Amino acid sequence: MSGYFITGTDTGVGKTIVTLAVMELLKHRGFEVAGMKPVASGCDSSAAGLRNSDAGQIMQACSSNLPYLQVNPYAFEPAIAPHIAAARSGETIRIKEIVSACRDLEDISDRVVVEGVGGWEVPLGNEAMLPDLARRLKLPVILVVGLRLGCINHALLTASAIRATGLEFGGWIANQLQPRMEAVDEIINTLRERIDAPLLGVFPWCEEPKPGEMTGYLKEFPE
């Protein structure tokens, strides 16, 4: 499978804007691109069923018109950990079904960009964890580091956990989450020295980031 698995140091660090920016960049390079957010919590009720706004943006960014459920097969209403949301809904998140859906996307596209849920060590069920899904997909992992207090610890721990899986660590992207933050350059340099993967880009603070504009910050993204 050809594409990327986007994960983060935590929830709310900008995985979706990075996913969308990567999709736009790949489309600019001439690839047919499909995106997927396999599991989403915090969904809204609609006439068509539960819908997640981030998954909706990913669906709109795909090169082809795809049905919502192909982009987001597991949608849960409460904005809580996915395995808890699934248990409350009486559902089981099945990695095999997600992998099969991703293979279908691979058949109609050149690149598939998959956004994870929450951080890296997130349970998907009683036994399954998010890294189990990443292993099955066998995609290079890109880590989104949300720049905020405590991010050095979170980033280094997550980077070590990704390396421990044996998956290809494709690189990391720094995303400034606050309009003002002290020592941003020093923090980025600290992480650059200690994360054994390339820094692919630095997203500045932006109140309403637009994927097409953010692609310009992916200066080191591989061809």
The CATH number of residue 94's host domain is 3.40.50.300
**Biggest CA pair distance of the chain:** 50
Is 223 part of any domain? no
Is 109 part of any domain? yes
- Is residue 96 part of the annotated active site? The answer reads no
Is 173 part of any domain? yes
pTM: 0.96
Is 178 part of any domain? yes
pLDDT value, residue 144:
98
Q: 118: domain range?
A: 3-217
Whether the per-residue pLDDT at 1 is higher than 80: the answer is no
C-beta of residue 102 within 8 angstroms of C-beta of residue 112: yes
Whether the per-residue pLDDT at 159 is higher than 70: the answer is yes
Number of separate domains in the chain: 1
The number of beta carbons lying within 10 Å of the beta carbon of residue 110 is 16
Is 222 part of any domain? no
Q: Which of 15, 37, 210, 219 is catalytic?
A: 37
Cα distance between residue 179 and residue 124, in whole Å: 33
- Dump pLDDT digits (tens) for 126-139: 889 999 999 999 99
Average pLDDT rounded to a whole number, residues 181-200: 96
Whether the per-residue pLDDT at 23 is higher than 70: the answer is yes
Q: What is the mean pLDDT of the chain?
A: 96
Is 112 part of any domain? yes
User: Would you give the distance in Å from CA 115 to the centre of its chain?
Assistant: 3
